[in-house]
Structures are given as C-alpha cells and as structure tokens.
Amino acid sequence: MNDGDVSRQIQQMVRFIRQEAEEKANEISVSAEENQEFNIEKLQIVEADRRKIRQEYERKGKQVEIRKKIEYSMQLNASRIKVLQAQDDLVNSIKESARKELVRLSNDKRGYEKLLKALVVESLVRLRETAVLLRCREVDRKVVESVLEEAKREYADKIKVATPKVTIDNVYLPPPPTKADSHQPYCSGGAVLASEDGKIVLENTLDARLDVAFRQKLPQIRRCLVGQGGPSSWYGHGCEADKDSST
C-alpha cells in the first residue's frame, strides 16, 4: 500500500469520525432542547399550581376573616341586646316603684283630697265647658263629692265665668291595683272629665300623668341611671345637670 492509499484511508476515517461526532453532537443538542422544553413546561405547571394554592389560601383566609367579623358582630349585637334589656328592666322597675307611690298617695286621705280637687280644677280649666261629665273610681266618689263644689268655685273665680255644671258619672274607673291580680285593669286615682257631648275627653288620672311624665323624662332617667360612661357615670355630672335643670 502506497502513501496515497494510506492518505485516502486516513481521510475516510477522519470523515467517518467527524460524521459520527456531528451526529452525536446533533443528538446531544436535540436532547438538550427537549430537556429544556421539559424543564420550562415543568416550571410552568409548578407555577400554575402555586398560583392555585395561593388563590385558594387567600380565598379561605377571606372566608375565615368574614366568619370572624360575623361572629364578632353577632356577639356585639347580643351584648347590646343584653345591655338594652337590662336598661329596660331597670327603667321599668323605677316606673313600677313610682306606681306604688301613687297608691300610697291615694291612701293619704287629706293629701289625696287636695290633689283630687286640684286635678278637677285643672281639668275644668283645660276643658272650659259649661257642662261636664266627671268619671272617678267608685272608692273616690265620696271624696269627689266633698271637693267638687269648692273645685267648681275655684275654677269659676280663676277663669271669671259662671260655675259649670258637673255630673258625676255612674260608670266608674277601674278600682285601685291589688297584688292578687296585677293583670286586671286598675286606676291609682284621679279623674276623667269630658264635655257633655263626649267629643272632648281629658284623662287626668294619676296613672295617665305618670305615663306622660315618664315619657317626657325617659331620656333624662336613662342618662342618670345608665349614662354614656357606664355605671361609673350614674352618680356623675349627667344627673347633677338634670337635677339643676329641674330646679
């Protein structure tokens, strides 16, 4: 084998080796690209799952926060209802105590006579009728009869008119309250006067006056008893201010 043949064989071997190297390089390149695409796809899937997890976590976190707010609001409302109920119970107990005082007042014979006469005069002044129908409790009829003439004269002198005709109705107001049955209608005292035709009625009973006074004074009573600052303010400036304004 001469030098030319050897040179050709070497060149063929070089070409073969080069071709194999190029093919191997292509395989490696293709494999690398495939791996890169796989890694990119894998990263995308992982990132998508992470987003889903974050979104689910945020959604559940918001749900928990909303539930907490709802529970807090319910507890706060329940507490407010309890406070308001306690306030109402306290106010009602005060009103009940006042009603008991009215009963005691009507049992004071001399004091009740003066009060009843004053109520009749006041009613006549407000009605200003020449003929009036007066309704009272049956237990008060004698008391009313004993003060009626003086009340009529006092009204006539005050308004400068003739003495009115006052007829005591034979239909009576409910009896005084009793402990036996507190659900029955009752009247603590006073009288109801009406014009002769019944178109104008003036209720001047002790219970009616208490109801009116209580409605008017209810804000003041609440401030004094349960003031804005809580129990510590019950004896604070709120009551003193109201006391000053009432004098």
- Percent of the chain exceeding pLDDT 70 equals 80
Chain-wide mean pLDDT for the chain? 82
Residue 148: pLDDT over 80: yes
Q: Choose which CATH entry (1.10.3720.10, 3.40.640.10, 3.30.300.30, 3.30.2320.30) describes domain 109-177+186-225.
A: 3.30.2320.30
**pLDDT one-digit tens code per residue, 199-208:** 999 999 999 9
pLDDT reported for residue 230: 45
Nearest-5° angle of CA 119, CA 135, CA 117? Answer: 25
**pLDDT one-digit tens code per residue, 194-240:** 999 989 999 999 999 999 988 888 888 777 766 544 444 433 444 54
Whether the pTM exceeds 0.75: the reply is no
Say how many residues make up the chain.
247
Least confident stretch, 80-84, 96-100, 129-133, 238-242: 238-242
Cβ 174 vs Cβ 185: under 8 Å: yes
